Amino acid sequence: MSGIDWNDLYRTTFPELVRFLHRKVWDAERARDLAQEAFVRALQHEPRKPRAWLFQVAANLARDEARTVIRRKKHLVLLKTEAEVKEESSNDASAELTEQERWAAVREALDSLSEKDREALLLWDAGQSYTEIANQLGLAVGAVGTTLSRARKRLAKAYEERETVDVARR
Amino acid sequence: MSHVDEGALHAYLDGALEEYPAAEAVRIREHLDSCAECAERLEAERKIRTDAHAILGLAAPEVELPSFEDLRAYVERTRPKGGAISVHAYRMRLAASVVLALGTGWMLRGGLPGPQGPVADTAAESGATNAVASGARVRAEPVAAAATSGGGASADALAERADLPAQTVVTRQEVGSARAAGAEIRSLPEAEMRSAPEAEMRSAPEAEVLAALDATRVPAQKQAAPAVAAVSSDVMASAEAGAGVVADELELPEDDALEEGVPLDFDQFVDEATTTAAIDEAIVTAGSATPVPASGESMPDSADRDETSRSRERSAGPPVTSALEQNSFAARRAVAPDEAPSSEEPSMAVPGLEVVTVTSLGEGTAPSGTHVVQRMEDGSTLDIYHLLPEVRPDIVPAAPTGSNEVSRLTESGWIVLQGQRSVAELDELLQSLFPEG
């Protein structure tokens, strides 16, 4: 086994990985499943740079709809969750709605970005360094700042525009 | 002095200037200290950065951390039997198999007999039957071809081809090298056949493989270098015909992969036998059906070649593309039905596009992957680089002007696509390498 402290890596990286994945699949449970899957693979392969490796694999997992095992598992989870939700949801329906609306707004704003800008932004927000982002996206380190600058501007603008529309509707 | 651009401002805000070249980082910091205009811009960018971060924070689910111990236990339970194998050890074992194959194959070819107690005996005792089997195919390829149609290679047939006493061959088969004739290998279930080389290598401890290697030392030392090069071509040819060995499994040993204490001649033998040129010759024969003989070494006669060729045709899957259906097993791997790629093992080529060339990448004893060139509908070319694990994509030459590039890290290494298409279109082509995706 390499000298990597996997326990520590797991503790510090798993939440970031879930958040990163959640903004790609927009399903907290599935994001968690995929993050676990990424860690399982990392433990099996023991890559030399596990953190960057995890995010790359996570991105592939999120994109790869062929992960039928995960999907099947997800379907089971969904069935279970739906059954549970029916019982529990009456109490906090309004809170759930608010959260869903909030997520939808962020998702819409993120969707307005180019794939590369979005990826850079999500990777940065998940704690990746410029060098790691550059390696993952095939950019020069010096170009990461420019990409993030553009992505942040577009995100803020898109979100603001949506808010404006929502306010007008009300 | 020029102002600081927005990218550098964000790098400054993100604390990422340390990742910039030192001189550039110093310049940016000094400029921000002295330029009021840039300082003002910096504050504007800081607000944008804060807003974006807050927006993303709205979509951050609460994360419950599952037990790491459970995860670890799951991984241990599901870890493949025999445990993970390092690339280094894998290469070493593969090299051992190839070298043993060469030695044994050379003996079967009718060369000098080995020491009393055939190599096969030693190898079989050590569990390295895969290597022996591969080795036997070196010379027994016509026999293997006959076995394909006849159902099995007899000891007599082997003996006849190898000019060895029949009893000797029977003995070898008794110790487990019968699979060398090809018939039994082909009769294995497809899944087992695909996994057989690796599984068998994993079952042989390194020390035992090395012991088997030692057994080949005597014939190896007597082997002339030019002949070895030709034999290695034969090995590759026979591997194509029946072994199911895929191109990227033919990684060569690193210089330090060979045990110390092995005689110089043996090292030379290994170097010659596993030279990239010889292997490339076999791999990159997309346009040429037969391996090129080394000077001074006789190739199989024309009848043998024809039989060999037919044998290859029989062992190959249905053709899909013109170039792939020829003799590169690297290419065949992409189209053979029994090698249907999974989401974890991508195709070598985009389905439906003509394959122009398939070339192995890397030099000397450091192969780095495979380069596939395909022709798109408009006549332009699509370059696909399949890099081996641990090989970074920056070895791929930059996309030419007018071309774009997409890349993806898979479990088997980076895949890089370059072509005169938009990034989105290239990404679609990349996705098509993963048929389940």
- Is B71–A146 a contact, with Cβ atoms under 8 angstroms apart? no
**Separation in Å, CA of A11 to nearest CA in chain B:** 7
**Separation in Å, CA of B399 to nearest CA in chain A:** 12
Q: What is the pLDDT of residues B256-296, one digit of tens each?
A: 333 333 333 344 434 443 433 333 343 333 333 333 333 33
Contact present, B86 and B212 (Cβ < 8 Å): no
Window 46-75 of B, Cβ < 8 Å to A: 48-49, 51-53, 55-56, 58-66, 68, 71-72, 74-75
CB atoms within 10 A of CB A76: 10
pLDDT of residue A2: 61
pLDDT of residue B13: 93
Q: Is the pLDDT of residue A22 over 70?
A: yes
Contacts of A132 (CB under 8 A, 6+ apart): A51, A52, A55, A123
Contact present, A13 and A51 (Cβ < 8 Å): yes
Extract the residue ranges of chain B whose pLDDT is less than 70: 1, 79-345, 363-365, 435-437
Show residues of chain B in contact with A121, CB under 8 Å. Answer: 52, 56
Q: Is B277 helix (H, G, I), strand (E, B) or coil?
A: helix
A121 CB within 8 Å of a chain B CB: yes
Alpha-helical segments (H) within B58-189 = 68-78, 87-108, 119-126, 129-150, 155-162, 166-172, 183-187
Give me the interface pTM, i.e. the ipTM.
0.73
pLDDT of residue B121: 40
Q: What is the pLDDT of residues A66-107, one digit of tens each?
A: 444 444 554 444 444 444 544 554 555 555 557 778 888 899
Q: Is the pLDDT of residue A116 over 90?
A: yes
Q: Is the pLDDT of residue A4 over 90?
A: no
Window 8-67 of A, Cβ < 8 Å to B: 10-11, 14-15, 18-19, 22-23, 28, 31-32, 36, 39-41, 43-46, 48, 53, 56-57, 60, 63-67
Amino acid in position A160: E
pLDDT tier at A146, thresholds 50, 70, 90: very high
Query: Which secondary structure element, helix H or strand E, spans residue A74, and what is its range?
Result: helix A68-88
- Is B19–A10 a contact, with Cβ atoms under 8 angstroms apart? no
pLDDT tier at A156, thresholds 50, 70, 90: very high
B171, B183, B273, B172: which is closest to B229 by C-alpha?
A: B273
Window 18-37 of B, Cβ < 8 Å to A: 19-20, 24
pLDDT of residue B258: 34
pLDDT of residue A155: 94
CA atoms of B201 and A58, how far apart (whole Å): 31
Mutate to test the interface with B, among A64, A117, A150 (most CBs of B within 10 A): A64
CA atoms of B344 and B413, how far apart (whole Å): 10
Please name the member of B11, B55, B62 whose beta carbon is closest to the beta carbon of A130: B11
Q: What is the pLDDT of residues B385-433, one digit of tens each?
A: 888 877 777 778 877 777 888 888 887 888 889 988 888 888 888 888 8
pLDDT of residue B290: 35
pLDDT of residue B367: 75
CA atoms of A14 and A21, how far apart (whole Å): 10
- Is B55–A156 a contact, with Cβ atoms under 8 angstroms apart? yes
Mutate to test the interface with B, among A7, A27, A130, A147 (most CBs of B within 10 A): A130
Please name the member of B19, B55, B72 whose beta carbon is closest to the beta carbon of A106: B55
Q: Is the pLDDT of residue A125 over 70?
A: yes
CB < 8 Å & 24+ apart, contacts of A157-165: A158/A108, A158/A109, A158/A112, A158/A113, A159/A105, A159/A106, A159/A109, A159/B55, A162/A105, A162/A108, A162/A109, A163/A105
